[in-house]
Structure 1
Amino acid sequence: MYTDDIGAAGRRRRPSDEPEDGAVLERRLSSGSRAGAELETLVNNRTLAVRAGLEEDAFFTRPDGTSTVATRYDLERAVPESEKPHLEELERYWVNEPYAFVVVFRSERENERKYYLVEPFLTEIERELRAFLADKLRTTISYADEGGPGDDGTDRRAVVEAQLRTLLERYDLVRKPTRGSDGLLGTVTSLFGASEDDGDGGADEAGSDGVRPERAILASDPETLNDRQVERLRYYLTRDFVGYERIDGIKRDSAVEDISCNGYDSPAFVYHADHGQLVTNVRHGTDELDEFVVTLAQRSGAGISKRRPQVDATLPDGSRAQLTLGREVADRGTNYTIRQFTDVPFTPIDLVNWHTFSLEQMALLWLAIENHKSLLVAGGTASGKTTTLNAASLFIPSSTKVVSIEDTRELELPQRNWIASVTRPSFADGGNEVDEFDLLEATLRQRPDHLLMGEVRGEEGRTLFQMMSTGHTTHTTFHADSVDEVLRRFTTAPIDVSKTMFTALDLVAIQTQTSVDGRTVRRNRTLTEINRYDAERDEINISDVYRWRAETDAFRRVGASSVLEEIAFDRGWSEERLERALFERQVVLAYLVANGVDGYADVAAAVQAFMNDPPRVLSLVANGELESRLPALRNLESVSIDVDPETEAHAARPEPSARTERTAANVLERAEESLFERYRAGASE
């Protein structure tokens, strides 16, 4: 006999019972194991895997310890369940913390990378509240625009937030309910003018606010909006009224260079600095896309309509946009392409870390530009021409006068003695236009030491070369894939520069966008010198100094530099002194790479300080003190280096590769043997 759990006597257990009970238990365990495996598979298929090494709790926690507005839940809602089993997370970062973040995935099924913008998910009632409040705010904002002197974004945001707060209080959406109140549902129902369905399936009568709240609100908050709901509503309303609506998060992504939507029912695409072209999860509805493009044009001060369906515009943040409305000139309908404006320019160190140029090439460009040699950067679309021109402009000494000419402001220089000129389209047909010719004519009277022209597109190139041939050092960009194409297009119609005049140019850098190890990269394919005009053969003599070799992804010096020889002649330097000048600049650049000094303000300060006092900077490098002294070096009277620390912190600057780090270390080792001792001892030139 045996007793049960409460001490009662039970029946005598028969020997035959034991194997039967064991078999049942085994079957139950097996069934439970299968159910557990099925549940695990279900969970894995319906949730995204977290990237190894990512502390997700920390990612979704604010500095004050509270949760971010956008959370893991919003990420799960943003990605379709059918996609989740096939996605591998590559990168995750905030673009508008705590409201919006980006995740870059690789799809194992489709073997492509995808860009997901994740924003707070709204319930049905929250979406309808947002629509109602947006309608009310639209009137308020229009009134504020009409009555104010202008709209600069900051004022607009303040108006939106103040009016939103007023609206929420006016309709008792954030107050404690009084006795007998119907709670939030009743308040919202009356506020939205909802009525019972009369059975005919028709819409609400015109004249009401026309939005019917859903009863889903009862499941979460039957009384008032909680703080999180208010935060989500405030985010979307300021995003739409102050920012760039659906693409606002993408616009804030410093790693994105271009944003485009190719037509109705098309997703938005981005060009990402690290991942190349990516499809996004952002889509516009047909009417919404039309309205968005019209809004972009209006914000840019341009008009777009069916009569004038295409415009080139400059957005308030400086980005360049090409806008097309409707199907008149585009089969797939309304589309846009936005070329992002970089708040903080890239530097020569960024170009070296990207391996767009080598340290040797960058040192040569430095010495050449510092000594008034003209540079033309050529390449195809998205090859990084303007980025290189902007970075190379740091090599212009602060003691010189600079004038820049652009149709859209993209160049940024640290020099105080800088006139930044921008073309202006006519306000009416045929009148008041200020084009490149007008600005070039004015430049002659401004007497610059260096002239920067954003891009040569047509006949203004002839005037530019006339200025170059009269002694004005010029730096510009041009759309061409080779030096031969540059020569052909400049010396034939419509630009039609004479071949003798073309030799006023010193250097041509040909850039290309290519693929290395599956990554989209930019490389300087050749660095070429324009030597002389051969009258007998009627041709311009050119010579490559550096070439990029695709098979090794390395730069090789292939010829002597006549530009360096001219500099040595003009400065009265021996060959040894020339090599030392080149090496000293290479050492400064290598120090910045090796020590991770890549911020715009720090690089600009180091470069300008060297050109003002080389022995002092080399002494700081030799003693390992340059990095700590950079804040003091920014205080040159002729230089204005004012960069917002928060903006700099979000700049998408590259890390040097192991090969670049080794190259920088080798340069510093050579300097240790041949250069540093004399500067540690306090010697100078």
Structure 2
Amino acid sequence: MAIDDTGGGESDQVNGGGNLTDEPVRVGEYTWDDLRREVHDGGRFDRSVYLGFEPRELSQRLEDAASAGKTLQAPFEEYLDPTTTPVAKDIYTWEHFKQEYYYEDGSLPRDSDGEVIPFHESEYLNFDPEHTENRLSAAEDIASELHEYVDENTVDVNPELDEDEFFSTRDGHTTVVNRYDLEKAVPQSKKSHFNELERYWVNKPYACVIIFHSRKENEKKYYVIEPYLTDIEIDLREFLSGKLKTAIKYSEDDVIVQGTDADRAQVIQREAEQLLSRYDLYNGSVSSSDEESVLGQVKELFGIESETQSETTGPLSGISTRPEPAILEDDDPKLNEYQVEKLLYMLKRDFVGYARIDGVKHDINVEDISCDGYNSRVFVYHTDYEQIISNVQHGEGELDDFVVKLAQRSGKGISKRQPQVDATLPDGSRAQLTLGREVSDHGTNYTIRQFKDVPFTPIDLINWNTFSLDEMAFLWLCIENNKSLIFAGGTASGKTTSLNAVSLFIPSNSKIVSIEDTREVELPQRNWVASVTRPSFGEDDKGDVDEFDLLEAALRQRPDYIVMGEIRGEEGRTLFQVMSTGHTTYTTFHADSVGEVIKRFTTEPINVSKTLFTALDLVSIQTQTRVDGNKVRRNKSLTEINEYSAENDEINVRDVYEWRAETDEYIQMGNSNTLEEIKFDRGWTQDKLDEELFKRKVVLAYLIEKGLNTYTQVAATIQAFINDPDTILTLIANDQLELSLEDLREMESVKIDIDPEKEEMVPRPDAPPEMVEETKQVLDNAQPLFNTYKSRETPDIVSALMDDSEESADEDSIDFGQFVPKAGAEADSE
């Protein structure tokens, strides 16, 4: 530091005129004169130029610097602390290292003589520090080789997915199925060209599905990931399976025959525990009742209620150990908790579930499951990816046994004498089973049409653009007013899906009888008799209950609506006879056009007379097609069946709506005589008809615009509107509908209590942008209607539905005809 000595001259400041550069600078001896002689070029010497501040500020600046030094010392020490500063490139320095391994209480270490112990970097590195760059270069090469090896031997997963979170339970513990099982499920030869597209749980924590794209084969793959079993575990599963078959065979437990799947699972659980204990394979407990514990997860899977609930659960013991050969050599002779959990899942999957395809059966995105023969891979029809090959495969003997088991569980017999069977599985899915090579060159095969526990709704059909908003409002009014309808189309064109969806428009105060040979129809109304045909037990037809018998019985049950799953033959003639007596009827039929529907019904083998055919009101033609390369379902046309012309011997029809493929839009083709009939039957004016049609359109638009698309929300709203339109419109006008929907679970005439977990898995579509715009326009047009209801107050839906008040809104001043398609005779006159 330069000393400001103004009292001395130049001779006093420089001792003997020596060279300043020859001697080191010592504190207190370097003065301003020294600085001036060394760096100043002449002229006035301004000290502030060299200091950067006025010399009189020096004392204050030193005090400030001392204070700042103390302030910076704490973060510096924290920086040096290895517990707070992680090792990272360009951050961890030798000073960090010294603080952690060299210094003693922050000071230089000394030996017993008090001498400082020198710090030699090579002692800690075990090599000369000058070789560090070479060492790092070699390490980089090794790391690169290791990375390539890992890349070749592991699956390319979605980089945006947090795998730790995906393979974790709600308590943060590792799921039974995890990344290890994923690596084991994908063959080594395929890992280098598989890219993950999507993954999701189908039976957490035991099974998930991953959709891969093969770059090499340029096709998609459907992989079910389940717990991987070692050879020892596979042998143990086979051993336990054999013992369980014997134990169950001689069991006196009634649930084996009469119980539910959950009851049977409990028996498997109990017997398996006893076997593990008897053979001294496991001494732990698997009876914890928490839903994330070992047994608790299995109980949750099969719907078994737990008696007690523990507050916390721990991870499965043994789940961190990977069963590789090197580890198994020193493995414990007893099973750990993780191994027991895997075995219990596999045993229950095989005995109570659907064996190898159990994970696929749990996938709500799968519509069809098919196996084409021995040693053939199972194919699935995925909602998003269509037909896709899976990693599931049956052996020859295993496939025979599996198909026989499916038939038995469906109450059917299958043998080489009767090698083909149509069956309905316990969960409602429809199966076509073939045994052996008698009628199939590739051997035993099966096709399963999945049954959805939670049906789709009219809102889903609109969001998929299967129907337009106007069409759905039109169908609602027609169905509510007892107009008969047939959904016709090809295979997988969405006939039954549409039938189930529009069934929500049937009033809950109506009695419904359904007739099917395999269960496909699912209705929410409780006053519903679900009839199913039954073949005879012998070689003759004695004891056979067919569609004719069920139709005859249905007429004695005084139904308001008759729903027939599908017309295939002569039963169609009986159905039209029932229709002509005034019973509203809905069914599906295989035909690609209205003309083909009429032709097939009015000729052999159905042979309905043309005069009788006019008892039908509407035909909806469904089709499966492609739009922008995506496979979609569309309503090709919505056609009215009018009168029979005896002069021309033909049935007059009129298209009300038609789908235009080039624009993917629906066009109103003509005015509706069906609406004219409704107007006449109800004694409505044209304005009243327009109003009723518009109100239904508004309700549907509101549900779409607000995203209220679950089965419970849609069913509750529609049924409540049918019972009391003013209440629902009041709630909509005041934007209170969503808050009130929960009360509708109390409606006893409609079953709308859907399992939230199952509902969450339903792949419901979001409204496309053009539909969102249309619904906003509809709701804007409805503002005058909403204004008439906003002044009304309804505390909740249920109490409102029981209110017999005749209060109604003043709607006379609103022209509803400008918001809905023109219909009826008055429209024809315009």
Number of equivalences: 634
- Confirm or deny: 8 A CA contact 1:401 1:448 kept in the other structure: yes
Structure 2 residue aligned with 1:415 = 525
Selected match of 2:260 from 152, 157, 182: 152
CA 1:467–1:612 in structure 2 vs 1: closer, same or farther (change >3 Å)? same
Matches within 5 A, 1:209-248: 218-219=328-329, 221-248=331-358
- How far did residue 25 of structure 1 move? 8.3
CA distance in 1, matches of 2:326, 2:450: 40
Aligned to 1:402: 512
Q: TM-score, normalized by length of structure 1?
A: 0.88
| Greater radius of gyration (CA) | 2
What is the rounded CA distance, in whole Å, between the counterparts of 1:215 and 1:61 in structure 2? 26
Residue of structure 1 aligned with 2:740, choices 618, 629, 637: 629
Deviation of residue 6 (structure 1)? Answer: 4.8
**Structure 2 stretches lacking a partner, 5+ long:** 1-117, 123-128, 285-322, 793-807, 811-830
**Counterpart of 1:573?**
684
Per the alignment, in what secondary structure is the counterpart of residue 83 of structure 1? Answer: helix
Q: Does 1:63 align with 2:174?
A: no
Name 1:440's counterpart in structure 2: 551
- Indicate the larger mover: 145-154 or 630-639: 145-154
Structure-to-structure mapping, 1:267-278, within 5 angstroms: 267-278=377-388
Q: Which residue of 2 aligns with 1:505?
A: 616
Q: Sort the Cα spacing of 1:220 and 1:456 in 2 relative to 1 into closer, same or farther, 3 A.
A: farther
The AA in structure 2 aligned to 1:652 is P
Question: 1:640 is aligned with what amino acid?
Answer: K
Counterpart in the other structure of 2:235? 128
Q: 2:639 aligns with which of 528, 533, 541?
A: 528
- Cα deviation, 1:39-68, whole Å, max 9, x if unaligned, reads 323322322233253222111110122110
Tell me the equivalent position of 1:537: 648
SS in 1 for 2:251: helix
Q: CA deviation at 1:264?
A: 1.1
SS at match of 1:84: helix
Q: Does the Cα contact within 8 Å between 1:276 and 1:519 map onto a contact in 2? A: no
1:380-407 alpha-carbon deviations (Å, 9 max, x no partner): 1111111111111110111222111111
Q: Which has the higher contact order (CA 8 A, sep 6+)?
A: 1
In the TM superposition, residue 556 of structure 1 has moved relative to its aligned partner by 2.0
Q: What's the offset of the Cα at 1:216?
A: 6.3
Task: Please report how far the alpha carbon of residue 448 of structure 1 lies from its aligned counterpart in structure 2 after TM superposition.
Answer: 1.4
Describe the shift of the 1:659–1:144 C-alpha distance in structure 2 as closer, same or farther (beyond 3 A). Answer: farther
CA contact (8 A) 2:182 2:225 kept: yes
Aligned 1:201-350 pairs, distance under 5 A:
218-219=328-329, 221-350=331-460
Partner of 1:584: 695
- How many percent of aligned residue pairs carry the same amino acid? 61
**Residues in 2 aligned to 1:28 and 1:64: alpha-carbon distance in whole angstroms:** 44
1:626 positional shift = 0.8
Deviates more, 1:446-455 or 1:27-36: 27-36
Aligned to 2:780: 669
Deviation at 1:127, TM superposition (A): 1.1
Corresponding residue of 2:753? 642
C-alpha distance 637-65 of structure 1, shift in aligned 2 (>3 A) = closer
Q: 2:745·2:753 contact (CA, 8 Å) conserved in 1?
A: no
Q: Which residue of 1 aligns with 2:592?
A: 481
One-letter identity of the residue aligned with 2:436: G
Q: What's the offset of the Cα at 1:145?
A: 7.3
Say which of 714, 726, 734 aligns to 1:603.
Answer: 714
Residue 14 (structure 1) aligns with: none
The TM-score, its normalising length taken from structure 2, stands at: 0.73
1:275–1:520 Cα contact (<8 Å) kept: no
**Residue 77 (structure 1) aligns with:** 184
Question: Residues 181 and 227 of structure 2 are in contact (CA less than 8 Å); yes or no, is this contact kept in structure 1?
Answer: yes
Instruction: Work out the CA distance in 1 between the residues paired with 2:702 and 2:249.
Output: 54
Structure 1 position 165 matched with structure 2 position 273 = yes
Task: Provide, for residues 146-188 of structure 1, a one-character-per-residue CA deviation record: whole Å limited to 9, x for no partner.
Answer: 8655242122111111111111111111138xxxxxxxxxxxx
Do the aligned residues in 2 keep the contact of 1:61 with 1:67 (CA within 8 Å)? yes
Aligned AA (1:122): L
What is the rounded CA distance, in whole Å, between the counterparts of 1:100 and 1:220 in structure 2? 29
Partner of residue 625, structure 2: 514
Q: How far did 1:655 drift?
A: 2.5
Quick one: which of 173, 183, 194 aligns to 1:87? 194
C-alpha displacement of 1:530: 1.1
Preserved CA contact (<8 Å) 1:125 1:214? no
Matched residue SS, 1:404: strand
Matches of 2:533 and 2:500, distance apart in 1: 18
Query: How many Å separate the matches in 2 of 1:283 and 1:102?
Result: 15
Structure 1, 508-517 or 34-43: larger mean CA deviation: 34-43
Given residue 445 of structure 2, which amino acid in structure 1 is its aligned partner? N
Name the SS for the 2:244 alignment partner.
Answer: helix
Q: 1:103 to 1:220 in 2, by over 3 A?
A: farther
Structure 1, unmatched stretches of 5+, are 9-20, 177-212
